[in-house]
Each structure stands twice: as structure tokens, then as C-alpha cells.
Structure 1
Amino acid sequence: MMHTLTTFGLILLELLALFAAVSVLVALINRRFGPERLRDWMADGRLPGPVKGLLLGIITPFCSCSTLPMLAGMLKAGVTFRTCMTFLLSSPLLNPVVIAGIVLLFGWRVALSYSVVTAALTLLAPLLWERLGLEAQVKRVKVVGETEPPPWRGIRREIRPALNEAWKDLRPLLAPMVVGVAIGAAIYGVVPQEQLAAVAGDDKPWAVPIAAVAGIPLYVRAETMLPIGVALQSAGVGLGAVFALMIGGAGASPPEVSMLTALFRPRLVVIFVATILVTAICGGFLIPLVSG
């Protein structure tokens, strides 16, 4: 019980700090450059918009929850649905900290395979969402009009209004964040590694799907999941199941899913979770094949 409460407190504090920091950064970017310039940067050009969303996700080492203020800022600026969704999927799964950790712990072949498989799936999924008309499932976001941003007054004078904007973004997400963290901490506290290893051993044909499903309810950042993955592999869990668990846990944590209900309608939230599950299962089966 005490371990669960400690986990809940630490995760909640971490999320609050990360969300506040990213929200302030996004507010400062919007005040310095204006939402129209952000939209222009992310529009189709020499590079398609979704590829820009993928690259932005790669260079922003956020956990799944701290992508949300950036996502909200992109939606407000009028960045296209497919580009925003590519960023949402890629940021927690393809950041350089995760890739570097995979290289160190599993080798460059596994890291390259993970990067290629995950990048392909995060580009294809938003395309499918767009074809299915899921853009209409984004809750009405007030798009900033075609007005010039106010004159930049320097970081010291802009930090206070940026903090106010960050608080406006954070306030409606506080309750969903607390609920999601509580669910994740409770599940994390009662799922022992030994039990997972017993049902997801390397010789079990159902290991990858079970690991993918088990990973989604856990709030475990990918960076944290890497050493856990090494321990699980040493305990007999196959490489595919380890990565299915990592993709599921990093891509769709309970706090993120809970907070997404403030931006997405239920159908898109369900589709998002299902996409992460399918990505985790496909990745779990493909990564060992292409890295062998």
C-alpha cells in the first residue's frame, strides 16, 4: 500500500512538473513567433507535414503525457490533424533518450529495427485515422485567428503571461491526471515482474499480445522501462514481448488516456488506445525478426 502511494505521489509530481514546463515553453513559443508561424512551419512543403510531426516527436524527448500541451498548442494554431497525431504517437516512442538506451542495452541492430518499425507505424496510423474521418472526433479547439502576435518584450516580462496561459491549459486536465495516475500507480504496484515472466515467456505463443495488453495500463516511461526490460528478458521473457510491453506502456498510459478525454471524443480515445495496442503487437512480432 505504501509503495503504491509513493509511486502515485512521485508520478503525479513528475507529471505536474513536466506538464507545467512544457506548457510554459509552448506559450513562450506562441508569444514569440505567433501561432501562424508554427502552422506554417508544420505545413506541407519540401517535407510533408506528417514527416515534420514525426521529426518534431523525435527531437522532443517527452513522455506520453507531456506531449499533450504541445499537441494542444499545435491544434490551436491550426496544424493539420494528421501532423498533430503523428507527433502525438512518435514523441514518447522515438525520442533520442529511448533510442540511445536501446543501443546501450540491446545493441544497434535492435535499436535500428525498433526505430524503423515504430516510425513506419506512427506514420501509417494517422493516415488511416484521417481516411476514416476521425478528425471530426477532436473536440472543438479555438483556433487562433490571423492576427499578429503582440510585440515580444523579453523573456523576463513574458514569463508571467506564459505562466497564466500554462495554468489555463493545465487546470481542466488536473482531475483526469489525478484519476489516471491513481489507476496507473495501483496497477503498477500489483503486477510483479515474476508473474509477467511466467505468462509471457519466450516459448509462449501468446507472449507478445499479453505483454502489449499488460503494458497499456502501466504508467512506465520508456526510459524507465528499458532496465525493467533487461530484467524481464533475463527472467525468460522474449525480446518481442519486452518491446510490446515497452511500446504499450510508453505509448498509452492511464494518465495520458484520461487527459486525452479533454481533447478527443470517446471514439477517438478508443481508436488511439487500439492503435497503440496494435503497434505494440506488430512491433513485438516484427522487431525480433528484423533484428536477428
Structure 2
Amino acid sequence: MLDYFSDLATWLTYDILGLDPATKAGTSIHFFIEDTTKILFLLVVMIYIIALARATLDLERVRAYIQSKNRLAGYVFGSGFGAITPFCSCSSIPLFLGFTSAGIPLGITMAFLFTSPIINEVAVIMLWSLLGWKFTLAYVVVGMTVGIVGGMILDSLRGERWLKDFAAKAYQKAAKAAHEQPDNTEVPESRKMTFAERHQFAKTELGEIVGRIWKWVLIGVGLGAALHGFVPEGWFADNLGSGQWWSVPAAVFAGLPLYSNATGVIPVMESLIVKGLPVGTTLAFCMSTVAASFPEFIMLKQVMTFRLLALIFAILLANFMVVGWVINAIEPWLFAGF
């Protein structure tokens, strides 16, 4: 079915617009039309389906479930919850405050916050359609691992000590109440939604998400198309090849001043890989852009002291570099036939 989008792009670019497929402009425009139409179609279909399934999600029961599990399961659940919720780094912060106020350990909350901007259903859909299931699976595993490891480190260092006063007091109050609460206390079951209500929820969420991200799709695919058509073949491989250890930290630091979400950065990721940038270096750059950008840290400064922000920043950068080096090392095996 996805071949129809390539055929549509070929017809519009070469037949209607009359561009030459051998030119840089023709290649770029074809790339832009094919990826834009394919991504937007898949987004509309899949976001609606996923929103239907998520319509009955009860955050209070989610919090209670996390608190009832052992700490390792909590990290995995926090990271997994971040992966399936459609929040960018900035919109995740109110939910972070809600988790903190509920007394959920900071490490579990940060596992959610680390993972949420990196992975979401939009990113998974786009990756699957553009780069295949192997890359998608690797991306999801890497993104969740960053969240889990980051959460474990913060808990081991008792990072809650460095929350701002109001957030720390709310956390301590809720943690004390949860400790004194009997283990058999049940959370009241919320009313189940009818199909009509779930449909309305899904339709509303579809409109909100697509309305928020369509411009990122256009920007991301546009940048990807420019890279695809105008950057000389092999430039990235020649200048940032996997044999150069410093290319990974260079890519991480290059992504810091930029800001994008997973939706906007994935078409750029596709073009970088096609142009010869190693997969690990590409992942390191894109994760830095999405999850360790300056705008996110400006938002987090509202609830965290500088010491905690610096610690989180260092954890993320170290994780991204390790991810880049490891993926580059195993790329021939992991992406054989990619």
C-alpha cells in the first residue's frame, strides 16, 4: 500500500511539475511529497486507533499501580508509560508535578520524563514507515533504556533532595501519606466510557495532536529533503564516520542548541542515515535535540534546582554518547541488510 505514495510523488514531481529525476531539485521534491503524504496518512489512522485504546486510561490507577510494584518494575513502567503517552518535553512537566505530588519516587517519575519526548506513537509510526522495524525496535529499546538507567541513577543519588522547595514539600507529604496508608487500600474504579465517548475522545485527540505536529512534519521532512537532495553523497560518511570516536560527542553537543520533537527530527534522521552518517551517531544527535535541548531545561528550572538540572543534563549526555558508541560498534550486525 505504501508504494502508492511513491507513485503519487513520482506523478506529481515528474509528470505534473515536470522536474527532472536526475536533478537535485527533482530528488528533493520527490522525497518531500512521498514522505509528507505517507506520514500524514499513517498519523491520522494510527493516532485515532491508539487514542481509542487509551481512552479508558485512569491516571490515578496508573499511579497506584506504580507505587504497588518493586522499584525496578516501577522504572520499566514509568519509562513504558512515557513511551505511550503523546507528550513533548514541555507538556510532560505538569504530569511530572502530578507524579511528584502523588509521592511516586523521583527516579520513576524521571524515567517517564526522560522517555516521553524521545518515544511516542507518532515517532514509532514514522520510524516504521521510513526506516523499517529493525531500526524502530532499536530506537524504542534505546529510548526506554535511557529513561530506566537515568531514573535508577537519580534514585541512587537521592535526587529528590534538589527539587525546588514547593515540589520537595509536596513530594515528602505524599510519600509520608503513602507510607502510612494500608497496602490493601483500593483505588476507586472509574466509570468506563461508552464507544461513542471513546470515539469522541479519539477524534478530539486526533485533531489536537495532528494540529500540533503537522508543521513539525513539514519542517522535518523539508530539512530531510534538502539533505537528501543537496548534500553530496558520502559527505557525512567521510567527515563523521563511525571510525572517528569524537563524532558521537560532537553530534550530541551539536544537537543541544536545536529544538525539535520526535516528529520533526525523524525525517532528518532518515536523510542523515541515507547520506552515510552512522546509525549510532545519528541517534545520539537526534536524542540530544529532542530530550536535552535548552528549552526543556528552561522549563524544568521551574521545579528543580540548578544542581539537579546539572545532574540530569550530565546523565542524558553520558547516556547519549554511550548509546552512540555502542550502536556504531554493533551496527554491522544489528542492521545487516538495512
**Fold shared, TM-score > 0.5 on shorter chain:** yes
SS of residue in 1 equivalent to 2:82 = helix
TM-superposed deviation, 1:111: 1.6
TM-superposed deviation, 1:34: 9.1
Cα distance change of structure 1 residues 132 and 236 upon mapping to structure 2, 3 Å threshold:
same
| TM-score, normalization by structure 2 | 0.57
Cα distance change of structure 1 residues 99 and 34 upon mapping to structure 2, 3 Å threshold:
closer
Structure-to-structure mapping, 1:31-70, within 5 angstroms: 39-45=63-69, 48-70=73-95
Q: For 1:137 and 1:55, how far apart are their aligned partners in 2?
A: 25
SS of residue in 2 equivalent to 1:43 = helix
User: Unpaired runs of 5+ in structure 1?
Assistant: 1-32, 147-151, 153-191
* Map of 1:75 onto structure 2: 100
> Which is bigger in relative contact order (C-alpha 8 A, separation at least 6)?
1
Q: Contact 2:281/2:324 (CA < 8 Å) preserved in 1?
A: yes
265-274 or 135-144, which moves further after superposition? 135-144
Matched, 1:231 2:255: no
Q: For 1:249 and 1:230, how far apart are their aligned partners in 2?
A: 15
Structure-to-structure mapping, 1:2-41, within 5 angstroms: 39-41=63-65
Matched, 1:132 2:157: yes
Cα distance change of structure 1 residues 34 and 281 upon mapping to structure 2, 3 Å threshold:
closer
Match of residue 146, structure 2, among 118, 121, 146: 121
* Map of 2:281 onto structure 1: 241
Q: Deviations over 1:154-185 (max 9, x none)?
A: xxxxxxxxxxxxxxxxxxxxxxxxxxxxxxxx
Q: Deviations over 1:76-129 (max 9, x none)?
A: 222221211110111111222212222222221122122223322321221111
Matched, 1:216 2:256: yes
* Map of 1:10 onto structure 2: none
RMSD (Å) for aligned C-alpha atoms: 3.4
| TM-score, normalization by structure 1 | 0.65
Q: For 1:254 and 1:218, how far apart are their aligned partners in 2?
A: 8
TM-superposed deviation, 1:49: 2.1
Q: Contact 2:105/2:155 (CA < 8 Å) preserved in 1?
A: no
Q: Contact 2:107/2:150 (CA < 8 Å) preserved in 1?
A: no
TM-superposed deviation, 1:54: 1.4
Match of residue 312, structure 2, among 232, 249, 272: 272
**Aligned partner of 2:284: which letter?**
A
SS of residue in 1 equivalent to 2:260 = coil
Cα distance change of structure 1 residues 40 and 209 upon mapping to structure 2, 3 Å threshold:
same
Matched, 1:252 2:292: yes
TM-superposed deviation, 1:57: 0.4
Aligned length: 221
Q: Percent identity?
A: 30
Q: For 1:44 and 1:34, how far apart are their aligned partners in 2?
A: 14
